[in-house]
Amino acid sequence: MPSNALKLIKLKNDKPLLYKGNWGEIEEQIKDCFRDKKATAFVMMHHGVCIGTFEEGKLVMPASLPFQSEHLRALRVFDQDCECYIWKNSMDEKNIFRLRIRVDKEEENGELEAVEARQLIWGTQLVDGNDRDWKVLKEKRGIEFRIHSSVIPENLFINERERLWLVTRNYIDYTPLGQAGYADCRFVTIEYGRGD
């Protein structure tokens, strides 16, 4: 069952870790974060987008869309506790990536506040894909992307009312004048449920 549309949470005020390096160095950092854990991976390359997994130190991708770091635009590897966000910066050399690691610990009296929000994932029809263990989430207007079967609950039925939702955590920060705003955002999980 989906969480509330918006929920305020308090977290321990741990600063995100920032790195810059080639793909091999960045991949090692991701492995360190998700050692012995399975995580969800949102992969955006120039020629395709998919939601896969990160297992046993590797990205699990459809055979028809193999991972190619030279075409990577953005990658988010995440679970309830942590996210590794990787992106390219146009000011960097061609083979350099940036990485932000954010690890969260909920704390009743935490100094860091965040708002969890549900974001609708486009797609009103879920069909079998051409790749084993992969589904295709489609929308009437032509939008579609691949999603690994393990990311979604078994036997779910996607339609106009029952949808997939991305839960994001949006971190609140304050200007010197006390004005609040979002300073960062990370992916937390994917949920299934009614969009009322």
The helix/strand count (H/E) of the chain reads as: 1, 14
Greater model confidence, 193 or 101: 101
Burial 107-127 (b: 16+ CB within 10 A, else e): eeebebbbebbbeebebbebe
Residue pLDDT, tens place only, 37-77: 999 999 999 999 999 999 999 999 999 999 999 999 999 99
Residue pLDDT, tens place only, 138-181: 988 888 889 999 998 777 778 788 889 999 999 999 999 999 99
Residue 1 has pLDDT above 50, yes or no: no
Q: Give the global pTM.
A: 0.91
Task: Find residue 50's DSSP bridge partners.
Answer: 43, 146
Greater model confidence, 141 or 103: 103
Binned at pLDDT 50, 70 and 90, residue 4 comes out as low
Retrieve residue 153's tokens. Answer: 């609950």
**Averaged pLDDT of the chain:** 91
Per-residue CA distances from 7 to 41, 110, 195 (Å)? 23, 15, 16
